[in-house]
Every structure is written in structure tokens, then in C-alpha cells.
Amino acid sequence: MDPPAMVMGTDGVIVAGPPPSEANPVPGSEKTEKRVEVSNDGDEGDIIKQYLGEEVMEVRNYVGSPRKVIAVNVDPNSSMDEDGFSVLVHFSDPKSKTNFSFRVDVKKDELDTLKVLGLKSRICYKVMSETEMMGRKFSQDILRPKHISLSINDAPLRDNWSCRDCGIHSSSNLVAILSHSAISGGISSTFADKETLFTLHVDIDGFRTEELHINSGDVPEQVVALFARENGLDAGFVPPLVGEVYKGLAKAFASEVRHLHAEMANLMEENVSLKQAMNSTDLEASRNHEIHAIESSRDYVIRSQEALLSEATNQIQRLEEDKQRLSRELFELRVSKAEAQNQDFGKLLRAANIDRERLVIENNRLRDMVYSTYRK
């Protein structure tokens, strides 16, 4: 028996339904062609337009429970036609321990227009079709592009990037990971993209400037490598690019320092208020009770200050490690490119040293301020 088809619901969610036919066409479609139309722009609910009865997965050798790994024999270099190619996608749901692979078709004329968000929509559609064929059904509030984290070569892909921006080709291997299990009752709505810390504008060739986005939790070397690969550069021999990331980290650190200063100021104000409350206590009968409350509040302030100190120390340590790592990279770049970029690299190294000295001064000042607050 053919697997049940899925059609587009009124809320933009793919739901189970009867197979489309001439007597029962998909709403909004006059023909029952075997294709999927995906919009590259617009809201997520408008991404997947219609399902027209195509079996999209190529699953072989499947045995046993759907919770086991599904062995799939796919050729990542096979083309769907002469005007396009197929990309191999490895899908994983960590919670249900479900893993399988399949191919997603990309036309050559879509490389500039098809966004990562549209690619995620195709993956969602194929995953839901495959689970229907395996006898496993998702709930009605099911898989959407925002529930999938997509990466290539361990580098995360942003929704607004095009396939050409990501360097996707017929030999690419994409990794799609489900953020929350959709098999046991729906997707959690709490999933969100990483917070963007800052955006750098990097001059990569003297004629054009590109944006470099740094997100919370990103590894600087991976960000640099992905950015360089997108722009046809070698991340190992682009000192200005490394310098921009280094300055960006310093900027993020300065922002964290300002945030810590603000929290410390609030704690000091609370401490002053507590002392004033102690001095203004005149009633002997309630003195013991108020002293106990004040001491409890003071202990809370001390614990908060200790936690703040620990957090600041960890932040400083992480940024110091990043600084040392980038400094080592700058030194290696200087050795390998000394003759070709001696003057420019010397300026970059001096700027990096100045930034490092400023960071050291700021670190010392932060420690002194935290320790002085703690001693009070």
C-alpha cells in the first residue's frame, strides 16, 4: 500500500491526508505533478507550498525498530538531472536516537536564490514523508525549519544564506539535527537561534566589504574558516581577517566588563541600603529580628559578589585563552608571510599588542574592583 501523502494545512503545517489525484487535487494546484515548490523568501509558514504525491526518500535495508539507525545506500554524487544535483543529508534526532540519510535535490539555477531556510523546509518535508513510510507519525504541530540545526563541515549555516554562500555542491554532506524530539508529541517552541554578539565588516580585498557575524558559543577559528571559504579565501593566510576577529573579541569583552560594572554598582547600592537600615533601627524589641534579616541580606550580597567574581574570572580566562590562541596564529602568519606582508603584518601585530595591553589593564582593574567590593 502506498504511504499516506501529506498536504499543506491552513496554518502552514504539513499534515497527513489522502494521496492527491485528479479527483482529489491539492488545494491551490491544478495539476498533480510530482514536485515540491519551495519559496526562498517570506515567512516560515509560506515556505512549503504543496505536496504532490512524490516518494522522496531512498531508504534501503531498513530492519527493526525506527529507533535504530537506518542504513541508507545513497550516492552523494548522483544528479537528479543535467540541470541540478543531489546533496546528501544526514538527519539525526538525539532524543529518539533516530538517524538516517537521504538526498535533497538542488537545481543549478537555485544556487543564488535558494536560501538555507528553504533547504531546511525541503528537509522537513522529506523527514515527515519518510517517517510516514516507516509507520511513525508526527503530531499535528510538527516539524518546521526553525526546529532543525543545519551544518556543513561542522560550520553552522544561517537561514538567510544562499546555497552558493554556503558553498553547497554535489559532494557536500549536510548534517541536520533536530533540536527537540518531534516524535513523542511535538516540537518545543522555546528553540531559537543563537544570540548575535556583534557583526564585523571585513575588507577582504580592498574593493568590497563583507559582514562577519559572531554568535554566542561560536568558535572563532570556525567562524573565520567559514567566512574565508565563502569568499574564496585561505583562512590560514589572511592576517587582516584574523585581526578583525581579535578586535571583535576585545569589543565583546569590553561589553561584558561594562555589564559586570553595572551589576557591581547595583550590589554596592544594596549594601549601602542595608547599612542605612542597620543605623536607623531604634526599636529595641525588633532589634534582633532586624539584625538577623540584615545579616541574611548581607550574606546574600556576599554570595552574589562571589558568584560575580567567579563569573568574571571565567570570562577573563576564556577571553585570555582566545587572545593567546589568536596571538599564536598571528605569530605563525608573520613567519609564513614575512616577506610579502612584513609592513602590514607589523602594524597588525602592534595593534594586537596594544589591544592586549589594554585588555590586561582592564582585567587588573576589574579584579581590583571585585576584590575591593568583596572585602567590604
Q: Which residue, 328, 332, 92, 335, is CA-closest to 220?
A: 328
Q: What is the DSSP string of 83-101?
A: TEEEEEEEEEETTTTEEEE
Per-residue pLDDT of the chain (376 residues; tens, 9 = 90+): 343 333 333 333 333 333 334 444 433 333 333 333 333 344 333 333 332 233 323 222 222 233 333 333 344 444 444 677 888 888 887 776 777 888 888 888 888 888 888 898 888 888 877 766 554 554 444 677 888 888 887 778 888 888 888 888 888 888 888 875 443 443 333 333 456 666 767 766 666 777 777 776 666 667 777 777 777 776 666 556 666 666 666 676 677 777 777 887 788 777 777 777 666 655 555 666 666 677 777 777 777 777 877 887 888 888 888 888 888 877 777 677 666 656 666 677 788 888 888 888 888 888 888 777 777 6
Nearest alpha carbon to residue 371 among 328, 278, 308:
308
Contact, 19 vs 53, CB < 8 A? yes
Contact 324, 244 (CB under 8 A): no
Q: What are phi and psi of 150, to 5 degrees?
A: -110, 135
**Distances from the Cα of 226 to the Cα of 152, 167, 218, 336, angstroms:** 10, 10, 11, 22
Neighbours of 272 (CB within 10 A): 10
What per-residue string of b and e applies to 180-206 under the rule 16 or more CB within 10 Å gives b? Answer: ebbbeebbeeeeeeeeebeebebebee
Nearest partner of 177 among 72, 60, 97, 111, judged by Cα: 97
Give the separation between CA 183 and CA 95, rounded to whole angstroms.
Answer: 9
In this structure, are residues 109 and 83 in contact, taking their beta carbons and an 8 Å threshold? yes
Distances (CA, A) of 363 to 172, 266, 303, 324, 353: 44, 20, 21, 15, 15
Alpha carbons within 13 A on the beta-carbon side of 236: 3
Residue 29 in contact with residue 50, Cβ under 8 Å?
yes
What one-letter code names the amino acid at 295? E
Q: How far apart are CA 143 and CA 179, in angstroms?
A: 10
Eight-state DSSP code of residue 115 = B
User: Domains of the chain by range and CATH?
Assistant: 5-178 (3.10.20.90), 239-375 (no CATH)
pLDDT of residue 62: 28
In sequence order, the β-bridge partners of residue 196 are 215
- Quick one: pLDDT at residue 247? 66
Residues 6+ away with beta carbon under 8 Å from 299: none
Nearest Cα residue to 114 out of 79, 159, 62? 159
Query: For residue 158, what are the contacts with CB-CB under 8 A and spacing of at least 6?
Result: 116, 193, 213
Pair 121, 140: CB distance under 8 Å: no
Q: What is the DSSP letter of 200?
A: E
Q: How many residues in total does the chain contain?
A: 376
